[in-house]
Structure 1
Amino acid sequence: MTTFVRSRDGRTLAVEERGEPEGFPIFLLHGTPGSRLGPWPRPAVLHRLGVRLISYDRPGYGLSDRLFGRRVADVVHDVADIANALRIESFAVIGRSGGAPHALACGALLPTRTTKVAALVPLAPPGAEGLDWFQGMSFSNVAEFTAAASGHGAVHELLSPTVERVRDDPTRLVPALDDELPEPDRRVVADFGIRRMLAATFAEALRHSPAGWVDDALAFSRPWGFDPGSITVPTLLWHGGEDVFSPAGHSRWLGERIPDATLVIEESAAHFGSLAVLPDILAWLADRPGAVIRRAAAPDQD
């Protein structure tokens, strides 16, 4: 069920919770584009882990009001406001793809409330010293981030036709990626349930406008508002070695700079392999006994 939280500056944030109401609280920060609707592990998985999983639409997505000009760092105010509204003092944070830099922001800027951070298939900050930021990246993402470097108008113009096609038929965004997908990702998105889940979250994300997607692209291409090297909480970085949307070199760069980081590169997986390891990483975040990050297999998703 969707609930609504008022942010400190008066915006509305759409929030979704699943799992155990009294379980260990974990914020799940969605990808780009994405929404509060997924991906989620199955209810039985959350019950077994004893996890209360909380997600919300980032500003401009779904039912959340836009925050024009937002930085990656601005996520910490929204997460803190939601936690306060839900009467949660401390929590872990996981972000996948576009949600991963935002999860890292919580580790850097909310260290007294964030117990652990997991960043799945993350990007590194723009201008990351010693990193060829675009090396190994798909043409579509290179085009998106190149446009974002030119400003709001350029990225809005680039993304708007895709957004209109998704509104007409939400299933079209996933097949549109097929030509760029490495084989491990093709196997994941060939599953009808996964495609249906992705279509639902894309449709919700872009139901009103491309604003959330545009603002994410701009935020990733500008200074984030924090230094990943300042993160002191335990941090897990997971990446598929064949990822072409956020290449694994980004996680390697982050792993060299975050002091208490564990880096896991699964060479035979790619971007969507992160869906399969989500339950194991939730177990690690919740400090469940025997939590082990296993190899990506079939995703166990709702």
Structure 2
Amino acid sequence: MELADILNIKRFAVLGVSGGGPYAIACLKDLPPDRLVGIGTVAGVMPMSFSTQGMLTMTRLMFNIAPYATGIVGWITDRVLGSTARDTKHPEKLEEMMDKDISARSASDKEVWETHPNFRQSLRRATREAMKQGGYATAWEARLFGSDWGFKLEDVKVENGRMIMWHGDLDVNVPIGVSEKAVQLMPAAELRVVKGESHMSLMTKVDEFTVAMKDLLLRSTPEPNKT
């Protein structure tokens, strides 16, 4: 809200992608509707109490262990990923590691990885930046996701047309079941299931998401007074 005030933005929408989902929902819970007109989540993380069935084993372990052993998770993350990401003399090591990880994903994720070189380079670059100071920040984020959020989804006031959730039905990072559970608790929210898409492949549809957020803003624009 403070950022919007500084930028003189009166009304806005928030789009939370993957781990940004909880933050978008928190905004919907606490920010006034005359400023925040609506939110969207894309493969959004939901409370771990829902279910982790179908989630990648390593992701599930991280979310479940990090709240109780953040330091250990951070150390392991740094040993496994951080040291490789910071190895500037051998950048191919991170590339090989990420290629191997993607090879175990869904066909849609593998296709995006192989056919979108700019996306591939962007994700590699983001991984290097995230690991520059070690793996503890990643562990702390996992701790936040795996811990109690401080509010329940059923207590979030959602009005019709103010929340859209997109989720690929093949997602193994954040399985679609969590969004299906969320929409039961927030029945005014809209769940848009994207057939044949997984976590990574869904990110290539960013134009669709931004257009929908723009539509939220346009629909909520007050009509000018007629004199």
Task: Give ranges in structure 2 of 5+ residues lacking alignment.
Answer: 220-227
Distance 2:217 2:22 in 1: 27
Larger RCO (CA under 8 A, 6+ residues apart)? 2
Partner in structure 1 of residue 152 of structure 2:
227
Residue 260 of structure 1 aligns to a residue whose secondary structure is coil
Map 1:107-126 to 2 at 5 A. 107-112=28-33, 113-126=35-48
Please identify runs of 4+ aligned residues in structure 1 that moved more than 6 A.
288-291
Checking the alignment, whether the CA contact within 8 Å between 1:96 and 1:122 is kept in structure 2 is yes
Q: Does 1:193 align with 2:123?
A: no
What is the TM-score of this pair, normalised by structure 2?
A: 0.82
Offset of 1:288 from its aligned partner? 7.5
Partner in structure 1 of residue 225 of structure 2:
none
The range that moved more, 190-199 or 209-218, is 209-218
Partner in structure 1 of residue 205 of structure 2:
277
Offset of 1:173 from its aligned partner? 5.5
Checking the alignment, whether the CA contact within 8 Å between 1:231 and 1:259 is kept in structure 2 is no
Cα RMSD (Å): 2.3
Q: Does 1:100 align with 2:18?
A: no
Percent identity of equivalent pairs: 25
Q: Residue 252 of structure 1 is aligned with which of 137, 161, 180?
A: 180
Distance 2:102 2:77 in 1: 18
Which has a greater percent of helix?
A: 2
Offset of 1:240 from its aligned partner? 0.8
Q: Which digits, 9 at most, give the CA deviation of each residue in 1:63-122, with x for residues without a partner? A: xxxxxxxxxxxxxxxxx2322332323211111111111111111121433211110111
Residue 239 of structure 1 aligns to a residue whose secondary structure is strand
Partner in structure 2 of residue 207 of structure 1:
132
Which has a greater percent of strand?
A: 1
Give the direction of change, closer, same or farther, for the CA distance of 1:225–1:89 in structure 2 (3 Å limit).
farther
Offset of 1:215 from its aligned partner? 1.8
Task: Give ranges in structure 1 of 5+ residues lacking alignment.
Answer: 1-79, 292-302
Checking the alignment, whether the CA contact within 8 Å between 1:173 and 1:199 is kept in structure 2 is no
Offset of 1:210 from its aligned partner? 2.5
Q: Does 1:84 align with 2:5?
A: yes
Offset of 1:237 from its aligned partner? 0.7
**Structure with max Cα Rg:** 2
